[in-house]
Amino acid sequence: MLSLLAIVLPIFALILAGWLARRTGALGPHATGELNRYVVYLALPALLFDVVANAHWAELWQPDFIGAFGLGAAVVFVGTVLLRLRRRPLADAAIDGLNAGYANTGFIGFPLAAALYGQGALPATLVATILTVCVLFAIALVLIETGLQEERHPRRMLASIGGRLARNPLLVAPVLGALVLLAGQQVPTPVESFLKLLGASASPCALVALGLFLAEPRTMQASARRTVAGLVALKLVAQPLLTWALATQLFHLPPPQAHVAVLLAALPTGTGPFMVAEFYRREASVTSSVVLASTVLSLLTLTAYLACVH
């Protein structure tokens, strides 16, 4: 519990820093959007490129782990999107799908997996991060762009969506990183240092932006609160249970690897959905509440899971 608390507390501290900065007037009303644009256009693309370009095939090729963790996240994401499509446009349903299936593997997963299972758990955590931050994120962006597309002629609509996606830094960066990986090239040391410095600011800045957003006075309707509760339950309960079933019953992962898969699936919602909601100017109050509530409640759910397996 103490090790988990030590990892999660800095997250709350960064959110609080953003909240205080807005409430005291140190940062103005436009800070949330501008800081979020910095993350989307600079920091996060640098992080995505760096993660993919410096991956190793031997570490990435873990088909059973990919199946257990990836399929668990995919089922929760797709199921949430289909469920929310009854009442929400496609773009908003895709963001809700991210809320339910986007685990905070980068900011919490790496230190927590290393603290509990040692350095041997880090390759699997890297795989989970790529699946979440690159693959799941990319699918959600395609759905959002499709949902926002007003052009109804199929050929022109596809061309417009393709053009927008080709200019999206969150998709371009990992693709370029994959090209470097496939070519077997090493990123030059000065460039690597630049990418690590820039990429390291992605999560902290996103959390500060979340605090800025939460500091703005707003009211949430009862239906929105029910939505938040449902999405948090999907993230903290449904996804890890599904991942456990897949890992143990379908893919028969060894116990240590299965525990890592379930642990990563049980992590709270990361800041990615909030960044997307802000970037596309969708209603971000539900997303910000999911990120905050799932992070707080994960202290209980993760502790309960760890108590069961240790």
Task: Name the amino acid, one letter, at 41.
Answer: Y
Task: Name the amino acid, one letter, at 268.
Answer: P
- The model's pLDDT over 46-96, given as tens digits with 9 standing for 90+, comes to 888 888 888 777 777 889 999 999 999 999 999 999 999 888 899 999 999
Judged against a pLDDT cut of 80, whether residue 4 lies above it is answered with no
Task: Name the amino acid, one letter, at 111.
Answer: P
Angle in degrees, 0-180, between the axes of helices 202-215 and 285-309, rounded to the nearest 10: 120
Looking up tokens 């820039």 gives 198
Lowest mean pLDDT across 33-42, 114-123, 130-139 = 114-123
pTM confidence score: 0.83
Contact yes or no for 105/129 (Cβ under 8 A) = yes
2-309: CATH architecture: Up-down Bundle (1.20)
Alpha-carbon gap, residue 63 to 253, rounded angstroms: 10
- The model's pLDDT over 82-118, given as tens digits with 9 standing for 90+, comes to 999 888 899 999 999 999 999 988 778 877 887 788 7
- The model's pLDDT over 237-264, given as tens digits with 9 standing for 90+, comes to 999 999 999 999 999 999 989 999 999 9
C-alpha dihedral, 289 to 30 to 19 to 298, nearest 10°: 30
- The model's pLDDT over 147-169, given as tens digits with 9 standing for 90+, comes to 887 655 566 667 766 777 777 78
Looking up tokens 């899971």 gives 305
Nearest to 202 by CA among 94, 274, 141, 101: 274
Q: Distance of CA 122 to CAs 118, 132, 154, 303, Å?
A: 8, 15, 43, 20
Looking up tokens 């999206």 gives 168
**What pLDDT shows up at residue 103?**
93
Alpha-carbon gap, residue 162 to 166, rounded angstroms: 6
Backbone angles phi, psi at 179, to 5 degrees: -65, -40
Mean pLDDT over each residue of the chain, to the nearest integer:
85
234: pLDDT confidence band, cut at 50, 70 and 90? Answer: very high
- The model's pLDDT over 289-306, given as tens digits with 9 standing for 90+, comes to 898 889 889 888 988 888
**What pLDDT shows up at residue 298?**
87
Alpha-carbon gap, residue 14 to 18, rounded angstroms: 6
**What pLDDT shows up at residue 212?**
87
**What pLDDT shows up at residue 83?**
93
